[in-house]
A and B are shown apart, each in its own frame.
Chain A
Amino acid sequence: MQTLTIAGLESVYEQLAEALDRAPQAQRELFLVKLALLAAEALGEPERFAELTEAALLDL
């Protein structure tokens, strides 16, 4: 499996921040759920997606 390089992670960080700022404020949640579904489709592994979901729920 591919992992993100530091440079790649930095790029994702900026892209995500910029996209969140571009989305209308009231639609940010919707945008994030769409992104999660698209990422899940690209991942193609429901079990892995479940692990990621649990990880994201930590320390909210």
Chain B
Amino acid sequence: MHCPSVEPRRSLYFDYQVHPAFTAAVGAAQAERHAVVIVGAGPIGLTTALDLARYGIPSVLLEAEQQVSEGSRAIVFTRRSLEILQQVGVADRVTAAGLDWRFGNSFYRNQRVFRMEAPQDADDRFAPMTNLQQPCLEQYLVEAVQANPLIELRWGNKVTAVAQAADHARLEVDTPAGPYALEAQWVIAADGARSALRSLLGLKLEGAAYEGRFVIADIRIRLDLPTERLAFFDPPWNPGNTVLMHREPGDIWRIDYQLPADETPEQALAPESLRARIDAQLALVGVRDPQWELDWCSVYSARALTLPDYIHQRVIFTGDAAHLLPIFGVRGANTGFQDCNGLAWKLALALKGLAGPALLPSYSHERVGAAREIIAEAGKSTRFMTPPTPGQRLVRDAVLSLSLSQAFVRPLYHWRTSRPHDYTDSPLNCRDDDDAAFPAGPRQGAPLPNVRLGEDDYLFDHLGAAFHLLYFSEASELPADLRARAAALRERGIPLRILAIGAADAVDGADLSLADADGHLRSKYGAQPGCAYLARPDQHVCARWRQLDGAALGRAIHTALGNA
């Protein structure tokens, strides 16, 4: 019998609510069959359910616990994550509660040796980074899920076994009232770093684990410091090691500090050890007689691992269940959001019978590729933060020492922030378009760049759960053969919206017309009249043309649906 704690978790800033466990299916004569069962109601599972619902796909969400997660955990969300959260309707709540920022500072021997400035374009609705504690984000997502009639969230339901069949998987689910069975055409594993489904299927992650271990501690203290990332290398109180500080909402500060190599997690988390070290770090930032309370603490070690394939028969892996990435560079949850954004539309169109054979496999191709790229990047920053060999340490220490006087080494402090992956080698990209002929704008595989259209009005505000054709023209109507082709595609059930850009008035045949009076959107996209971009439902470009006819649009959509 699975009996999760029904005591609300303790927190200084978050009011935990314990939800009743779902037990109605216990003792049922027959296992229910669902289209999609998502295992794990963390940020990635919840977002996947909401994203699928945008396409009309219902899902059942199983969560082993009866409350949202403990501790701040993921705290920094990137602009791309906010853009994905905007699509599922919770970005406004995140920006209202979160703290946005764009500067990072690295210190060595009391000197600021590097200042990172994340670019902020006037066309972006969201800041480069937004800090918010994970339970707060989960709460917003849970409320959105509970308001969505297509999603059933089952608390206190733990998966204990999985059996694969040709057209479904069967899950054994344990609850506080006993077990029941459940079948799904597709199971999405969003059950986090210690994924039970990954273990049950006997799957092995590939990659590197790093030696350096960190205490991550959240404390409540009023500090008169801006919301910026602070990194301290080799501070006097923690010689040879690295310390990070981030501000969170509600006067909560996250302090991450590296442990001496020979110390156990138990020793590190002993209250007197925590107090002495946190006091020492606070003294370093100028706090005398520090008064603070501990909210949560844990021990973390950097790993850069991924499954080599995210689809195993009827089980599809996302987020930390699929890969474990170092926290330096905010690559955990932020990578997970891109996973579910990449998966939802493909799975939805597959379930609607619109997908070619290559569509769903392309999820694994694109996202494993992204994870491997991230692992290569993350490895560099992790080796700088926690040098794994004597040689690495010596060169790192030489760079620290040189950085006090020599500017050329300072870019090595950059921690290579998470950014969206360009799916340049995706099998879904068009093979006979004019990609190389554009002087500017997003290339094939890249996400669309956002564009400010007016006061509180951005391009992404107008994008929905569909392919989008951005058609640049000054004419008052779309060409007849394009309209006919679009109509035929929609007749087959393919979600396609056409945005006409550049005409002063509403354009006949377009779903939306944007005048782009100052030509800014056209210039950012390197587009002349007659040019067109085709974006997949996850906003990544799959084709762009200098001139477009209906037949070419049909071929590009055919390819983008996985008909290689």
Contact = CB atoms under 8 A, between A and B. Distances in A.
Nearest to A36: B398
A34 to B, nearest CB: 5
Nearest to B412: A37
Nearest to B390: A29
B312 to A, nearest CB: 41
Contacts of B408: 41
A45 B35 CA distance: 58
Contacts of B287: none
A38 B394 contact: no
B480 interface: no
A30 B398 CA distance: 6
A60 interface: no
Interface string B385-421: 0000000001101110110001011000000000000
Contacts of A29: 394
A56 B409 CA distance: 23
A33 interface: yes
B531 to A, nearest CB: 40
Nearest to B398: A33
B394 A33 contact: yes
Q: In which size bucket is the chain A interface?
A: under 10
Contacts of A37: 395, 398-399, 402, 409
Interface of chain A, helix or strand or loop or mixed? helix
Nearest to A42: B408
Contacts of B398: 30, 33-34, 36-37
Nearest to B391: A33
Contacts, number: 22
A30 B401 CA distance: 9
A30 B399 contact: no
Nearest to B399: A37
Contacts of B406: 38, 41
Contacts of B394: 29-30, 33
A29 B406 CA distance: 19
Interface in A21-46: 29-30, 33-34, 36-38, 41
Contacts of B401: 30, 34
Contacts of A41: 406, 408
A18 to B, nearest CB: 20
Contacts of A34: 398, 401-402
B161 to A, nearest CB: 53
B126 to A, nearest CB: 37
B412 to A, nearest CB: 10
Interface in B287-307: none
A2 B398 CA distance: 27
A4 to B, nearest CB: 24
Contacts of B397: 30, 33
B210 to A, nearest CB: 21
A42 B288 CA distance: 44
Contacts of B395: 33, 37
A34 B417 CA distance: 27
A45 to B, nearest CB: 14
B382 to A, nearest CB: 20
Contacts of B402: 34, 37-38
Contacts of A38: 402, 406
B77 to A, nearest CB: 36
A22 B381 CA distance: 33
A41 B401 CA distance: 15
B400 to A, nearest CB: 10
Interface string B142-176: 00000000000000000000000000000000000
B403 to A, nearest CB: 10
B401 to A, nearest CB: 6
Contacts of A30: 394, 397-398, 401
Contacts of A36: 398
22 contacts: A29-B394, A30-B394, A30-B397, A30-B398, A30-B401, A33-B394, A33-B395, A33-B397, A33-B398, A34-B398, A34-B401, A34-B402, A36-B398, A37-B395, A37-B398, A37-B399, A37-B402, A37-B409, A38-B402, A38-B406, A41-B406, A41-B408
- Name the 8 nearest CB pairs between A and B, nearest first: A33-B398, A34-B398, A41-B408, A33-B394, A34-B402, A33-B395, A30-B398, A37-B398
Interface of A: 29-30, 33-34, 36-38, 41
Interface of B: 394-395, 397-399, 401-402, 406, 408-409
Given A30-B397, A37-B398, 17 more contacts: A29-B394, A30-B394, A30-B398, A33-B394, A33-B395, A33-B397, A33-B398, A34-B398, A34-B401, A34-B402, A36-B398, A37-B399, A37-B409, A38-B402, A38-B406, A41-B406, A41-B408
